[in-house]
């Protein structure tokens, strides 16, 4: 499991592109509630921001938008809603599911960032303590060298 996780993190940019290139056609061709399922890409972009640079995540958002705009341009009727009461509730269910998933993803990312910040603060404290110890040793060595020089001058 760890090797899969490392592979996915190492190849996050390719995974982002693959997810976008597979998801856009799948959503537009297979699902009747296209507009709501476009919310799925919020999760993809949020994860991309965490694992990639913001610039690359932004480019992923642009790619997603471009693919959807091209599809809407060629097949505008597939995005026009014909709502029945069931359609309305299915849209609300799909939207709320993505909202909850996004909250979970952002929460997980936030927890991970808090953990990393805590580790960095502990590392900083440790480095500061080591620095103080080195400064004290250096001061002791300078003091010892001064005494040696003083003794040497007394002997000569």
Q: Is the pLDDT of residue 142 over 80?
A: no
Q: How confident is the model at residue 121 (pLDDT cuts 50, 70, 90)?
A: very high
Tokens of 119: 């580790």
Average pLDDT over residues 93-103: 81
pLDDT in tens, 40-84: 788 888 878 777 777 788 888 888 888 888 888 888 877 777 777
CB distance 108 to 43 below 8 Å: no
Q: Is the pLDDT of residue 156 over 70?
A: no
CA dihedral over 4, 14, 51, 67, signed as positive or negative = negative
CA gap 23, 20 in Å, rounded? 5
CA gap 85, 83 in Å, rounded? 7
CA gap 46, 39 in Å, rounded? 11
Q: Is the pLDDT of residue 137 over 70?
A: yes
Helices (H), the chain: 2-10, 12-30, 34-37, 40-51, 54-74, 85-155
């Amino acid at each position: 499991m760890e090797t899969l996780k490392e592979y996915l993190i190492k190849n996050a940019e390719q995974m982002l592109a693959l997810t976008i290139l597979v998801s856009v056609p799948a959503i537009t061709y297979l699902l009747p509630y296209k507009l709501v399922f476009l919310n799925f890409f919020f999760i993809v972009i949020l994860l991309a921001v965490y694992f990639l640079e913001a610039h690359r995540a932004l480019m992923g958002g642009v790619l997603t938008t471009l693919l959807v705009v091209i599809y809407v341009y060629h097949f505008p009727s597939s995005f026009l809603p014909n709502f029945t009461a069931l359609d309305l509730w299915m849209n609300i269910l799909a939207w709320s599911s993505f909202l909850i998933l996004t909250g979970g993803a952002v929460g997980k990312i936030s927890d991970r960032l808090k953990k990393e910040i805590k580790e960095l603060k502990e590392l900083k404290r440790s480095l500061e303590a080591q620095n103080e110890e080195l400064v004290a040793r250096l001061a002791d060595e300078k003091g010892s060298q001064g005494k040696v020089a003083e003794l040497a001058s007394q002997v000569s």
